[in-house]
Amino acid sequence: MIRFSARLVILLVVVMAFSSSALAENRAGAVTLTPLVGIHVLDGALDLENQGFAGLGFGYNVDKNWSLELDGRYTPTEYDASRGSRDVGIYTIGAGLLYHFQPEDALNPYLGVGLGGIIYDFDKGGRGQDEDYMGYVNGGIKHVLTELLALRIDLRYMLNPKTQADFASDSGDEREWRHHLQAMLGLAFQFGGTSSTPVKAVPAAEAWPEQRSEEVPVEVQAPALVEIQNQSPLDSDKDGVLDAHDECPGTAAGVRVGFSGCPLDSDNDGIADSYDECPGTTAGVKVGVNGCPPDSDKDGIADSEDICPNTRAGLAVDRKGCPPPIEQNVKINLNILFASGKTKIANRYTADINKLGEFMNTYPGTTTTIEGYTDSTGSAALNKKLSQRRADAVRTYLIKKYQIAPARIKAVGHGPKNPVADNATAAGRRQNRRIEAAIETTVFKPR
């Protein structure tokens, strides 16, 4: 293997010495085939000899800079076991991505990265095979020899997990990864692809010098030559584009035109820039004869962006074409009564409490305080507890029935404080055994 590699290196050097890089280029869309040889330097902890390897690579140039590559390599080596040497074959298969830095030069450096697998094949000793994944990074340079052929020099660093049948010389090696280097030399054959280098036209006289003859007289008709010289190219509409190339020969004076002689339309809305009052119209938006998008309600917002297309004349609007909403105050009050000494909510008051719950769900940002009161009958301490239980009963009803967050409702018992009627009469005491609540908030409603 090493003798074969040396012969190939000599052959490549000779080819490079007599080659020309005039057609040097990494062509987009080209397919490459690369036979290769090199030296495989194995992890130092493995009791395997460094040996030469051979392989074959296949590539595809996505463009002139980026290439995809698949290659396979084989390294024949030996394992120096205590009971005699054993042959080992190492196969690597990799798929990678290369980036070329100077794709149009004869010397084209590159870097790459890839993933693949590594197989250790033990043909003696009953070990069988061990397979693992591996990753690699590589870098090198391509020297273009001809349009078809390039010399490639590459250095690859590989990393793979410690094998199950590892043959390390040191049984105490605790490392989980094996490190390898491969130095490679190859010939890259490039087929097909598209060149990005313009081809220089060769004058016919230079291409066929044997046909030139200074001794052959040329007959010139003087009248015809004078007639041609006296003729001037026509530009009938004076737009700077000759009639022979003017696709819009009747352009009005002063109108800016393009290379074709037609009026410029920068936003491609079908209205020439000279008549376009809205030259920056978004692509695809319909416009009127003045080049502006239609605005049916005359509010300054084009119909294509107006979500309130029928705004009343004179109203100010926002950027969506809608007038600002009207600010309004909304409120609700609760006032219910309780029987003497009772905390149960009478059925005739549930409709009033339901209205409060619905209001709080309609306006989820609102909060309220349920305030409970009693008449003056009994001790102040007992009345305060009784009023608190009445307020708690209403609060619990609202939370359970309308799923209102507890933090939005507060319950407070005031006892006989703040009477609204005279406690000296039965009717007055009845009015004082009450629950009060009020909510007021500001909302914005569309006009």
pLDDT digits (tens, 9 = 90+) for 289-302: 678 888 878 888 88
Residue 138, beta-bridge partner list: 112, 156
Domain membership flag for residue 56: yes
The Cβ of residue 437 has, within 10 Å, a number of other Cβ atoms equal to: 24
Report pLDDT for 236: 80
Report pLDDT for 202: 47
Report pLDDT for 39: 95
Separation CA 380–CA 313 (nearest Å): 64
Separation CA 437–CA 91 (nearest Å): 85
pLDDT at 368 over 80: yes
8-54 pLDDT tens trace:
555 555 555 444 444 568 888 999 999 999 999 988 777 788 999 99
Question: Strand pairing of 107-122 and 177-191?
Answer: unpaired
**Average pLDDT in the 137-154 region?**
92
Comparing 152-166, 403-417, 422-436, the range with the smallest average pLDDT is: 152-166
191-230 pLDDT tens trace:
988 876 655 554 544 444 445 445 555 555 555 544 445 5
Do both 185 and 333 map to the same domain? no
Domain membership flag for residue 88: yes
pLDDT at 386 over 70: yes
Domain membership flag for residue 244: no
Domain span including residue 398: 328-445
Rg (CA), the chain: 47
pLDDT at 317 over 50: yes
CATH number at residue 368: 3.30.1330.60
**Average pLDDT in the 360-383 region?**
94
Phi, psi of 157 (to 5 degrees): -105, 125
Domain membership flag for residue 265: no
**Average pLDDT in the 127-151 region?**
87
pLDDT at 165 over 60: no
Which span out of 175-184, 311-320, 402-411 was modeled with the highest average pLDDT?
Answer: 402-411
Report pLDDT for 374: 95
**pLDDT, averaged across the chain:** 82
49-102 pLDDT tens trace:
899 999 999 999 999 999 999 999 999 988 765 556 678 889 999 999 999 999
**CB-hemisphere CA count at 13 Å for 35?**
6
Determine contact, residues 282/266, Cβ cutoff 8 Å.
no
Report pLDDT for 166: 55
Residues with Cβ < 8 Å from 407, sequence gap 6 or more?
367
Domain membership flag for residue 103: yes
Residues with Cβ < 8 Å from 188, sequence gap 6 or more?
32, 33, 34, 57, 59, 142, 149, 150, 151, 152
| Confidence grade of residue 401 (pLDDT, cut at 50, 70, 90) | very high
Determine contact, residues 273/264, Cβ cutoff 8 Å.
yes
Report pLDDT for 21: 45
**Average pLDDT in the 277-283 region?**
78
Domain membership flag for residue 385: yes
pLDDT at 231 over 70: no
**Average pLDDT in the 396-417 region?**
96
CATH number at residue 45: 2.40.160.20
Domain membership flag for residue 266: no
The Cβ of residue 423 has, within 10 Å, a number of other Cβ atoms equal to: 15
Determine contact, residues 98/69, Cβ cutoff 8 Å.
yes
Phi, psi of 402 (to 5 degrees): -110, 10
| Confidence grade of residue 310 (pLDDT, cut at 50, 70, 90) | confident
> Total structural domains in the chain?
2
